[in-house]
Amino acid sequence: MLNHLDQIFARIDASAMDVIRLQTELTARVALGPENGGTGEHEKIAYVKTLLEELNPAMLEEIHALDSRVPAGYRPNLIARWGEVSEAPTLWILSHADIVPPGDLSLWQSDPYKVVIEDDRVIGRGVEDNQHGIVSSYLALKAVLDAGVPLTRSVGLAIVADEETGSEFGLVQLLAQRSDLFKKSDWIIVPDSGNETGTMIEVAEKSMLWLKVTVTGRQTHASTPHLGNNSLYGAARLIVALDRIKSRFGKKDPLFSPPVSTFECTKIEANVPNVNTVPGKQVFYVDCRILPLYDVETVMGAIGDIAAKVAQELDLKVEIQVVQRQEATEATSADAPVVKALMRAIMRVTNREARPMGIGGGTFAAFFRRAGYPSAVWCTAPQTAHQPNESCPIPDILSDAKVFAYLFVEE
């Protein structure tokens, strides 16, 4: 067994140039959903499909989610499996193909879609979120198969669409169309979140609530503000008032990092284009990550009460719309087989003790948990996702590949 592992690990250690090549190819195939101004994940999924075909899977299937907003009319989801299917658990590793936009290009040191290598780090949009997972799981399986070491369990890889904007055209459709591929006993790993040491195994997520807040006043010339009602001022007052939510729902849960619910005002939309007009409408957004111990409806009610009070004080109209709402699911047990297996593998490869934790970020593991499939979210990540100059250390990808390879062949 040790000899087999040594062979596999040696192949992975020799794959640094493969990491650069794969990350370069994946980054160049821009996979933005229509909400983010893109045409979908087709080019990237097609490239990954050619990679998986070379590994001779027992099953390879592309599952389409109809979406009239993209030129092809659908969003692609790819799923493949190796080894004999049996009553024993299958080990699934699920990554996502889509990315977020690069944002302000002036904050990037280079073209976001052209990979740059700096100090053993790959830099480019998508290299961590979620190409890290695609590359590490692919290289792990390739190393095992090239070494001629038999898999001790059936292994499945899936690359889905639409994770960044809700998963309606991704994992939701995959589970709706092919839930027969999964068993409740399967080991499901989602390499979409982690910490820099690879010691965090995410087993729980907070409820996610995104709100659009529209403050309506009365537009007028800036020299006669008494004839109008400044919606920007009203929005500012409301943003400050909403800070009270943090103490109202301030309990802590040490399972999570951070251990509290978070409520952050984020995006603000442009109002008037000129300086000398008092705006009559202002729109901003609030991102709430709520500990499972709190009811989302109760939180929404408290936010509504604060908004109503500010609206009354300033004679404004305030409308609150839910942009996205995802209730916290039951956590994966810290004693679940997939969690215990990951802990063993991480210790074997890195000599570090990993522990189960909860996060505020949302991953598509929540859809598995909601359907009754225990799942663990894990990878080694510097947490640069969605940032300018997103990066991923090559040694982390290779180390994660070894963890996956160990799980593929351990008894």
12 and 4 in contact (C-beta within 8 Å)?
Answer: no
Catalytic residue (one of 163, 202, 390, 396): 163
The strand order across the sheet containing 281-290 reads 262-268, 281-290, 207-216, 317-326
Strand partners, 212: 285, 321
Task: Compute CA distances 138 → 6, 166, 310, 327, 377, whole Å.
Answer: 18, 25, 53, 32, 17
Catalytic residue (one of 18, 67, 98, 164): 98
What is the distance between the alpha carbons of residues 336 and 184, in angstroms, rounded to a whole number? 11
What is the distance between the alpha carbons of residues 285 and 283, in angstroms, rounded to a whole number? 7
Dihedral (C-alpha) 33, 358, 120, 385: value to the nearest 10 degrees?
30
Task: Compute CA distances 8 → 52, 171, 369, 394, whole Å.
Answer: 18, 31, 32, 17
Asked about 297 being catalytic, the answer comes back as no
Asked about 13 being catalytic, the answer comes back as no
> What positions carry a catalytic annotation?
98, 163
